[in-house]
Amino acid sequence: MALASAGARLHFGFCNLSLSHERLYGAVGLALAEPHVEIEATPAESVAVRVRDEAAEAVGSRSASAVASALHDDVREYAATAAGLLGVPGATVTVHASLPRHAGLGSGTQLAATTLAAIARAYGMDPAVRERAPALGRGGRSGVGVATFEAGGFVLDAGHPTARFTTDRPDDGEWRVPPVAARHRVPDDWRFLLVRPDAEPGRNGESEDASMRAAVERAEPGLADRIAGIVTRRILPAIAAGRGETFGSAVASVGRLNGAWYADEQGGVYRPPVGDVVAALSASPAIFGAGQSSWGPVVYGVTDADHADAAREAGDRALDTAGVAGNVAVVRATNEGARIEG
């Protein structure tokens, strides 16, 4: 028996979506300690999946049975693919904990990677997640999920060669996960507010592909130059020096500029009702910077241990201001990768 566990990730945005530049994408994000996904696997002659009740009940506004069914189907597909990649007959897989699906926390990559890792360890094998992630359909644009699974922390990835990707993602398995261009430890006293409004899931699958294709085709190249300046002159120095207020302001700026690329696809710089939540959080002195993680609906706020209680209260007020229900949490980052035992 083997057990694999990995935390969520925040995705602050991409460095470039314009085909006019040499490299496409280039993601900025970091690893969170919570919420997390946890997968147990034992060797078997075929693939069987069980989703524990608490894994489904904890992650969504949808009914637990609907969440469990979707989780079951996703994990079964990942487990079958993983077994084929590893050359093993199968595994009995149990989902003990999971992330909200398509909420902006990296659920797909973390679920795929932990499933692969648990099955591999159950057979005494190296999961080689980075090498095998493309065959699982992961790392096709952002490399943050794989990189945080490997070693946690803050990550800037190098993106993909523009000539290779054009406007379409290649078929699964026909790419390499973007290499890590920069990785830094997240200071221990930093905290991250997570506000998850009760809203429709973020873009995924074919709808995400279509939206990304449209955004890339229209992307104004000058925004990438502005983002590059923020990354090199503000984000990287701030994370290296532990300046939380500068870091929060800078990643929020990157998110707003990314939103200009996506505005036609998601109904504004932020998808509804995220914009109202971000605006309310941005007015709080306890929040150093706020934005939408990936396609949302999760909203992040950068804060620290001294402001954690005030940040949580600001999150509750932001949901009230936006007129939506939801949940609020303040979590730590993690500077460690996935835990794989067995």
Mean pLDDT of 222-237: 98
pLDDT tens column, 28-43: 999 999 999 999 999 9
- Name the residue among 108, 107, 128 with its Cα closest to residue 119: 128
Mean pLDDT of 84-89: 98
Which residues, at least 6 apart from 244, have a Cβ–Cβ distance to it below 8 Å? 187, 189, 190, 238, 288, 302, 303, 304
pLDDT tens column, 238-280: 999 999 999 999 999 999 999 999 999 999 999 999 999 999 9
Stretch among 131-140, 167-176, 190-199 having the lowest mean pLDDT: 167-176
Mean pLDDT of 85-111: 97
Q: What pLDDT band is residue 167 in, cutting at 50, 70 and 90?
A: low
Q: How many residues does the chain have?
A: 342
Question: Model pTM?
Answer: 0.95
pLDDT given for residue 281 in this prediction: 98
Spell out the domains of the chain, with CATH numbers in brackets: 2-182 (3.30.230.10), 186-331 (3.30.70.890)
pLDDT tens column, 321-341: 999 999 999 999 999 999 999
Mean pLDDT of 81-85: 98
pLDDT tens column, 232-245: 999 999 999 999 99
DSSP secondary structure letters along 294-310: TT-S-EEEEEEGGGHHH
Cβ(296)–Cβ(156) under 8 Å? no
Distance, C-alpha 164 to centroid of its chain: 23
